[in-house]
């Protein structure tokens, strides 16, 4: 149950939401709406977005926009291995932050559909903290959903949670010429 006296922490796995929105809708995520939904008129203690720096020209504007929303931005450089494989994820960092902050929170809101967080949420619940997830249902682990007290499926209201027109969906060549 959500109530105004609850202290909440919001932990946003930016890459997970970004790539889900891009694959499912050809759109970008409206992180302002996600934060508003996550907090749900409760007491926000801290909101953190975990990002990977990809050396893209527009990424600093994105990081600034998150900061202006009241979201702390934590960034890592994209790792490129000798083989050419690229890696960038924050799973351990997110888990450590949640474990450190859980004693100060009544609810943890994880914005990710990554099943690797299943045991983390089970642990948080065992410590008496409410575990909530916000993600795209179609790309969310069923194991993760088994551990949550509440789930907001972004697929249920894509008009609210997506910014259309920023990431071009696959279109015909004619449309590309008209709009590109």
Say which CATH number the domain at 38 has. Answer: 3.40.50.1010
Q: What is the pLDDT of residues 47-66, one digit of tens each?
A: 999 999 877 778 889 999 99
Asked if 129 and 8 touch (Cβ cutoff 8 Å), the reply is: no
2, part of any domain: no
The pLDDT of residue 82 is: 74
Q: How many residues does the chain have?
A: 180
86, part of any domain: yes
Asked if 50 and 14 touch (Cβ cutoff 8 Å), the reply is: yes
175, part of any domain: yes
Q: Model confidence at 87, in pLDDT bands (50, 70, 90)?
A: low
The pLDDT of residue 172 is: 38
| Coil, strand or helix at 163 | strand
Report the b/e string of 99-118 with b at 16+ CB within 10 A: eebbeebbbbbbbbbbebbb
pTM: 0.87
Where would I find the H helices in 127-172? 142-145, 158-161
Is pLDDT at 134 greater than 80 in this prediction?
Answer: yes
Strand order in the sheet with 72-77: 72-77, 43-53, 7-13, 107-111, 130-135, 150-153
Which is nearest to 145 in space by CA: 128, 133, 163, 162?
133
The pLDDT of residue 78 is: 74
The pLDDT of residue 81 is: 67
C-alpha radius of gyration, the chain, whole number: 17
112, part of any domain: yes
Number of domains the chain contains: 1
Rounded to 5°, the CA angle 24-30-33 comes to 125
156, part of any domain: yes
130, part of any domain: yes
Domain of 68, in residue numbers: 7-117+126-179
The pLDDT of residue 27 is: 95
155, part of any domain: yes
1, part of any domain: no
CA distance 6 to 18: 28
């Amino acid at each position: 149950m959500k109530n105004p006296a609850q202290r909440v922490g919001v932990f946003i796995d930016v890459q997970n939401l970004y790539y889900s929105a891009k694959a499912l809708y050809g759109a970008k995520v409206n992180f302002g709406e996600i934060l508003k939904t996550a907090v749900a008129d409760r007491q926000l203690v801290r909101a953190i977005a975990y990002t990977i720096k990809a050396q893209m020209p527009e990424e600093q504007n994105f990081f600034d926009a998150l900061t202006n929303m009241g979201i702390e931005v934590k960034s890592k450089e994209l790792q490129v291995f000798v083989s050419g494989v690229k890696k960038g994820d924050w799973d351990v960092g997110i888990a450590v932050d949640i474990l450190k902050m859980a004693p100060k929170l009544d609810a943890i809101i994880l914005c990710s559909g990554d099943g690797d967080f299943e045991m983390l949420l089970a642990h948080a619940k065992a410590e008496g903290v409410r575990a909530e997830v916000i993600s795209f249902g179609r790309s969310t682990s069923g194991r993760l959903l088994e551990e949550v007290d509440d789930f907001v499926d972004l697929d249920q209201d894509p008009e609210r949670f997506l910014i259309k027109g920023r990431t071009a969906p696959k279109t015909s060549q004619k449309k590309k010429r008209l709009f590109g």
